[in-house]
Amino acid sequence: MMALTLGSAAVSAAAESTESTESNILLPEMYDITWSIVIVAIIGVVFYRFALPRFQAVLDERTALIQGGIAKAEEAQQAADAALAEQQVLLAEARADAARVREDARDEGKAIVADHRTKAAEEAARITETAHRQIEAERQAAAVSLRSDVGTLATELASKIVGESLADSARQSRVVDRFLDELEAAQGVVSTSKGA
């Protein structure tokens, strides 16, 4: 309202100082309206149809690009994080595996060593025992063979010396046994005294 009165006041003041004109500045001339409509229409069409939609498209594209970039970066970050986590899990697993393997190996080594030790001990005991048995057998064989050989020899020797054939085998054997027993007894005394 104030603008209106002031505007017209200013205008009329300006108008008064000059020669009178027919035109009132507030009353539109026909051509003024015509061309104003034409120009506003043209600018309006250009802005609505062409300029603003193009700008909007570019703005949207830019927004999409920025959002896409952000999304991509986030994705990459997530992938990296996931990879890192996975790597750490794998690393921990690998460490645990290694520790377990080491532990197993140690246990196994211990077991093997112990096993070998017992086996060796058994083997040694077995060998010793075999040897003892063999020795005993040989000793007994030797004793038997010696007994018969010595008997024969002694008998032959005695026969030769006595000149008398000890044909009677029973007697012969009795004599030999007695001799050997005596011999053994003497030997036993000697070996025990030696052993002592």
Which residues would be at the binding site for another protein (CB under 8 A)?
A: 1-4, 6-7, 9-11, 13-15, 17-19, 21, 23, 25-37, 39-40, 42-44, 46-48, 50-52, 54-55, 58, 61-62, 65
Kindly report the number of other CB atoms within 10 A of residue 159's CB atom. Answer: 14
Kindly report the number of other CB atoms within 10 A of residue 69's CB atom. Answer: 10
Tokens of 4: 């209106």
Least Å distance between CB 98 and another protein? 53
Closer CB to another protein, 41 or 96, in the complex: 41
Tokens of 130: 């075999």
Closer CB to another protein, 3 or 196, in the complex: 3
Closer CB to another protein, 29 or 184, in the complex: 29
Least Å distance between CB 77 and another protein? 24
Least Å distance between CB 53 and another protein? 8
Closer CB to another protein, 19 or 164, in the complex: 19
Least Å distance between CB 73 and another protein? 17
Residues 6+ apart with CB under 8 A from 158: 166, 175
Number of H helices, E strands in the chain: 4, 0
The dihedral over CA atoms of 23, 25, 27, 33, expressed in degrees to the nearest 10, equals 100
